Amino acid sequence: MSIEALNITKKFGHFNALQDVSLEIPTGELVALLGPSGSGKTTLLRIIAGLEFADSGNVRFDSKDISDRTARERRVGFVFQHYALFRHMTVFENIAFGLKVRPRATRPSSENIRSKVQELLKLIQLEKLAQRYPSQLSGGQRQRVALARALAVEPSVLLLDEPFGALDAKVRQELRRWLRHLHDEMHITSVFVTHDQEEALELANRVVVMNEGRIEQIGAPDEVYNHPATPFVYNFLGNVNLFHGRIDDGKAYIHERETGHVVYVRPHLLDIDRRPNGGDHFRAKIKHINSAGPLVKVEAVTEWGALVHVEMSQDRFRNLHLLKDEAVFVIPKDVKVFEAREPQVKAV
Amino acid sequence: MAYRFWRVHAAKANFMGGAIALNPRAATLTASASSRATLESAAVRWTLIAVASLFLALFLFMPLAMVFVSAFSKGIHAYLASFREPDAQAAIRLTLLTAGIAVPLNLLFGVAAAWCIAKFEFIGKSLLITLIDVPFSVSPVVSGLIYVLMFGLQGAMGPWLVAHDIKIIFAVPGIVLATIFVTFPFVARELIPLIQAQGNDEEEAALTLGASGWQTFLRVTLPNVKWGLLYGVIICNARAMGEFGAVSVVSGHVRGLTNTMPLHIEILYNEYQFVPAFAVASLLALLALLTLVIKSFVEWQSKRQLTEDAENWSMETA
């Protein structure tokens, strides 16, 4: 089922949670709503689910306007940030809930409910824990039960609010892959909310970057990462160095007669060398080196006293034999220039 | 490598052993370090315990014991005879009837009020919360008088009631109304903080799964507050059976007709019939003790659920 949100506006008191937001999600996509807290991403998700109602604008499922329908009538699968499992019910009863509350005419027989729940328990690999209570499960297990419960009613849309937010890094990684796999098998239109750019870029087909109640950019992960539409997107999707300067004849000059242009360079798009090698460069002095991890992170002070962050491969680092307090040349490989507007997010 | 690890481990254990040896009680005390730090000296502790025990003995246990001593002062036959009296039986019946009507009604009202206050935002919410507390803050005698002023002969609705031959004051309906009023806040007060603390998540989950409002309430909200609800009902019942002031004003003290147990006890006492008075009183006291036992059990159960929830929560946020 495709989802359309058209010109959605929502206020909480004087706070503009969403301002004229429009979004189209084709059938079968896995979309991430990405943004900092307060960007309106969860509100948008809840409006799609019918747990919140927009002040103006429409929500459509398969081109049919369902703005006035309640959450109950919309039949979406919703996974809550803190799972919201029924604490007095076992895992089995939790998953069976959606089937058991159906009106008698459409309710499956208890035999059918049982086999359906068994099937879902198998899917989430928790068959042995069917009789446990939520308090006896780990965070990752609870999350999977919440997902199975949402899937039990066979929703045509799956909505997930910060699905991995409360889990530790390792479990998060596993669940992410598992969800990706699940989506590839079931092709159910899915939308998840996250503030973790890595999660959004890794999991989603399309990423919707939100900020202050508006959509900044919609695109495939590589598109938003490599071709950010606004300074906010550039900032939010990874670490970045900012240089103020001017544009002259298609060339960017940094730290010279500034005209309000801002040059953005990601740390891995800067190179360090002992010679200028004839290209564009500036001088800097190395302040700090962190070589733990796949990339070596170097912190240096520019000739005009600003901090600059550079990331390089371990190989490159070993070849250079960089030392602390050494004077080097910094060579930008690729930069992005935005005009005037100051970014809201501070550089790394 | 394994050997070395073991050595390090052993050394560490030795060090710990030394620490324990310095303070042998530290190992046996289950209390946390902070509570040990705030512990008073033995003299202070024993003095406080002695004062509290003495106070309890003088003002609680001895009077309670005296009720039973007086009730049995003429032997078991006299004690049992007190209950064979028709007036006593009528009083017991009326008390049970009153509680039987007031408690379920206040259960309904309390659940509805708590649900609406805890789950919804509306204008006049704080006024409603204040109103629920009125019976707590008003003297029971005033509560009784309110009904006399409303439904009494000289009251606002008096002439109309007389014209239609409806008797409320000095009759059973008045007693039931006054009891409902006085025991009004117990269930609601118990449930409001509980429902508020549990939030809306599970209800929202139930709705997205296709449950109706009624199904959500019965299957999700109610089971989550069942112990708090039971606690409120028990306290409400205890007060409904024991209420004296408000009921005294509206009852009219008609023997065998409008006397509840507390009123019956007072009349017997004023007539110097001590054994029957204390015998009926002992029944109320037993009821109170039973209530306390059930209450302790419920508290223990709900506490268990609370710690479970807390663990739940800490695991989620960990």
**Are A98 and B210 within 8 A, CB to CB?**
yes
| Type of residue found at B3 | Y
H/E stretch holding B20: helix B2-22
Q: Please give the average per-residue pLDDT across A184-213, as a whole number.
A: 92
Cα distances from A181 to residues A30, A156, A186, in angstroms, run 11, 17, 9
CB contact under 8 A, B308 and A134: no
Contacts of A317 (CB under 8 A, 6+ apart): A291, A296
Contact A139 B318 (CB under 8 A): yes
Q: Which residues of A touch B223 (CB under 8 A)?
A: 88
Whole-number Å distance between alpha carbons of B113 and B107: 10
Q: Which residues, numbered 95 to 124 in chain A, qualify as contacts with chain B under a Cβ-Cβ cut-off of 8 Å?
A: 97-98, 101-102
- Residue B308: what pLDDT? 65
Residue A199 has pLDDT above 60, yes or no: yes
Contact between residue A4 and residue A25 where contact means Cβ atoms under 8 Å apart: yes
Quick: pLDDT tens for B130-180: 888 888 888 888 888 888 888 887 777 888 888 888 888 888 888 899 999
Of B210, B219, B316, the CB nearest to A166: B316
Is A70 close to B207, i.e. CB distance below 8 A?
yes
What pTM does this model have?
Answer: 0.75
**Which residue, among A12, A88, A133, would best test binding to B if mutated, counting the most B CBs under 10 Å from its CB?**
A88
Q: Which amino acid is at B27?
A: A
Q: What is the pLDDT of residue A348?
A: 37
The residue among A41, A4, A29, A79 whose CA lies nearest residue A197 is: A41
Tell me the backbone φ, ψ of residue A342, rounded to 5 degrees.
-75, 140
> Hey, are the CB atoms on A72 and B212 less than 8 Å from each other?
yes
Strand partners, A307: A301
Domains of chain B, CATH where assigned: 72-317 (1.10.3720.10)
Closest Cβ opposite residue B210 in set A85, A101, A142: A101
How distant is the Cα of B112 from the closest Cα of chain A, in angstroms? 21
CB within 8 Å of chain B, chain A residues 17-56: 49-51
Q: Is B307 on the interface with A (CB under 8 A)?
A: no
User: For residue A159, what pLDDT band results from cuts at 50, 70 and 90?
Assistant: very high
Q: Which residues pair with A208 in a beta bridge?
A: A33, A218
- Residue B113 buriedness (CB in 10 A; 0-12 / 13-18 / 19+): buried
- CB neighbours of A257 closer than 8 A, spacing ≥ 6? A246
Integer Cα distance of A329 and A282 in angstroms: 6
Task: Find all residues with CB under 8 Å of B79, minimum gap 6, and list them.
Answer: B71, B72, B275, B279, B282
Tokens matching residue A110: 């208890």
Which tops the pLDDT comparison, B288 or A2? A2
Taking the C-alpha atoms of residue B83 and residue B265, their distance in angstroms, rounded to an integer, is: 12
The pLDDT value recorded for residue B309 is 62
pLDDT at residue A226 is higher than 60: yes
B309 touches A: beta carbon within 8 Å: yes
- B291 or A225: which leads in pLDDT: A225
Kindly state whether A236 is in contact with chain B, defined as any CB-CB distance less than 8 angstroms.
no
Nearest-CA distance A75 → chain B (Å): 6
| Tokens linked to A322 | 């960089």
Does A95 score more than 80 pLDDT? yes
Cβ-Cβ contacts under 8 Å for A184 (sequence gap 6 or more) = none
pLDDT digits (tens, 9 = 90+) for B219-236: 998 888 888 888 899 889
CA atoms within 13 A on the CB side of A334: 5
Compute φ and ψ for A290, nearest 5 degrees.
-120, 105
Instruction: Determine whether the interchain pair A78/B205 forms a contact, defined as Cβ–Cβ distance below 8 Å.
Output: yes
Report the residue of B121, B200, B201, B209 to disrupt the A interface, i.e. the one with the largest count of A CBs within 10 Å. B209
Closest-CA distance of chain B to residue A86, Å: 6
Contacts of B316 (CB under 8 A, 6+ apart): A82, A83, A139, A142, A166
- Whether A154 and chain B come into contact, CB under 8 Å, resolves to no
The reply to whether residue A49 touches residue B208, judged by beta carbons under 8 angstroms, is yes
